[in-house]
Chain A
Amino acid sequence: MNKAKFKSITSNGILKNNPTLRLVLGTCPTLALTASAFNAVGMGVAIIFILTLSNTIISLLRKIIPDEVRIPAYVMIIATLVTIVRMFLEKFIPTLYEAFGVFLPLIVVNCVILARAESFASKNPVLDSALDGFSTGIGCAIAMGIIGIIREILGSGSFFGIKLYDFRIEFFTSPAGAFFVYGLTIAAFNATYKAVENYIHKKNFALQLKELTKEAK
């Protein structure tokens, strides 16, 4: 894999096609599990693990799995990975396992994972697919982490469980607060992304103009 491809895949997953903040996919766990930063990051890590492995396995089997049965085959693979993560969390991090509740098994039908399997892993080589899964997972985890941190600081007055102050606005721990923070984070991310994109575009345009004037002279 060359450097340009590596850069393209990683920036796609984390920034350009960030599943949570740009494509607005996987909204259910994002809204439900971000009342605390620890839960949000925990879910993000689970998604990174499942997405990387599912993309790798699906890419490995892409020439074996017939097109007609690709979806049930993907679901079986993803369900197995989710079940392994569930068992691991239940054994070693029971608090996180309990906090995830029904949203952990629901990762099986998480549209981020199915979308990457269908649109990328089933058409690309193993290494590219693994990197795509990893960077998309990182994008998801960062977004969930940011939302989780904001909601926990404002809603519970703490940061990763460490008490900062007694003041708290309960609205931010409620579902309405989740939508509010999620919406504002999307707006802030997209505004920043567009501003950076415009800046790069203008810079490139100025460079091209400079070169053209040089050539004209």
Chain B
Amino acid sequence: MTLKEFLKSKTFICIVVLLVIALVCGGLLAIMNDLLAVTEEEKMQRAIKKIYGGNVDYEEIAVAEEYKTNEFGSVDGVYAFKDGNYLIKTTGGKGFQGGTVTLWIVAEYKDGAFEGFKSVAVDSYEKQTLMSSFDDNFTGVYSSDRSDRGVKEGKNFGLQNSDNEIGNIVSGATRTSNAFNNAVNAALYYIRNVLEGGK
């Protein structure tokens, strides 16, 4: 087949048509992405609204480099609220297919002492296909009285109840449950080692 024949062939036309459609669609998406992108500030306000039911004044706390990651995941942001509580954004690893779950966690403080978690909300996730199974019953465990007691005893969250762990699992979605627990444990690590000064 000569070049001239190839340029007139059905194969070439198919390739060109698909490429043009891909380019136009890609260009359109790039423009829309610029127009409709959700900024970090908007995400932050949404997270606060979701947890507090309204906008609250806060101050961002710089996370020291050595505390940005720990054995459970990463601490992506820490914010101090005017009411004494802290909002911590963490990402827990070792989820389904090695993916992650990113959470917004409110650490409740009374008279300067850590009382437990007030609430936990999902920010985003990667590779987790069963996120719809994780309802308020699952996230509610982190802020339950049982968890508050366990956390004060120095326990972390895990898949099963044990001497060292407070169990929280969705049956059939073990890996994603693991990522959730790791995200909350990452916050616990930060609270114990930084906010509580290593207590």
- A residues apposed to B, CB below 8 Å: 32, 61, 64-66, 68-69, 72-73, 76-77, 79-80, 83-84, 87-88, 90-91, 94, 101-102
Contacts A87-B33, A91-B38, A101-B132 hold; do A66 and B10 have CB atoms under 8 A apart?
yes
A82 to chain B, nearest CB (A): 11
Contacts A66-B13, A68-B10 hold; do A87 and B36 have CB atoms under 8 A apart?
yes
Within the assembled complex, what's the spacing in Å between the Cα atoms of A65 and B21?
9
Contacts A69-B14, A102-B132 hold; do A77 and B21 have CB atoms under 8 A apart?
yes
13 A-B residue pairings within 8 Å (CB atoms): A64-B17, A65-B21, A73-B18, A76-B18, A76-B22, A77-B21, A80-B29, A83-B29, A87-B32, A87-B36, A91-B36, A91-B38, A102-B132
In the complex, are the beta carbons of A68 and B14 less than 8 A apart? yes
Tell me if B's interface is mostly helix, strand, loop or mixed: helix
B131 nearest in chain A by CB position: A101
**B129 on the A face (CB < 8 A):** yes
A101 nearest in chain B by CB position: B132
In the complex, are the beta carbons of A94 and B46 less than 8 A apart? yes
In the complex, are the beta carbons of A80 and B25 less than 8 A apart? yes
- Provide the residues of chain A in CB contact with B38, threshold 8 Å: 90-91
- Interface residue tally of chain B, by bracket? 10 to 19
B121 nearest in chain A by CB position: A98
Provide the B13-54 mask, 1 if CB < 8 A to any CB of A, else 0: 110011001100100110011001110000000100000000
Within the assembled complex, what's the spacing in Å between the Cα atoms of A102 and B33?
19
A94 nearest in chain B by CB position: B46
Within the assembled complex, what's the spacing in Å between the Cα atoms of A84 and B25?
10
Within the assembled complex, what's the spacing in Å between the Cα atoms of A179 and B33?
37
In the complex, are the beta carbons of B25 and A77 less than 8 A apart? yes
- Provide the residues of chain A in CB contact with B17, threshold 8 Å: 64-66, 69, 73
- Provide the residues of chain A in CB contact with B36, threshold 8 Å: 84, 87-88, 90-91
In the complex, are the beta carbons of A84 and B29 less than 8 A apart? yes
Contacts A90-B36, A102-B129 hold; do A72 and B18 have CB atoms under 8 A apart?
yes
Q: Which residues 101-150 of B have a CB within 8 angstroms of A?
A: 129, 131-132
- Provide the residues of chain B in CB contact with A102, threshold 8 Å: 129, 131-132
A54 to chain B, nearest CB (A): 12
- Provide the residues of chain B in CB contact with A61, threshold 8 Å: 21
Contacts A69-B18, A87-B33, A91-B36 hold; do A80 and B28 have CB atoms under 8 A apart?
yes
- Provide the residues of chain A in CB contact with B13, threshold 8 Å: 66
- Name the residue among B13, B36, B37, B129 with the largest chain A CB count within 10 angstroms: B36
- Provide the residues of chain A in CB contact with B132, threshold 8 Å: 32, 101-102
- Provide the residues of chain A in CB contact with B25, threshold 8 Å: 76-77, 79-80
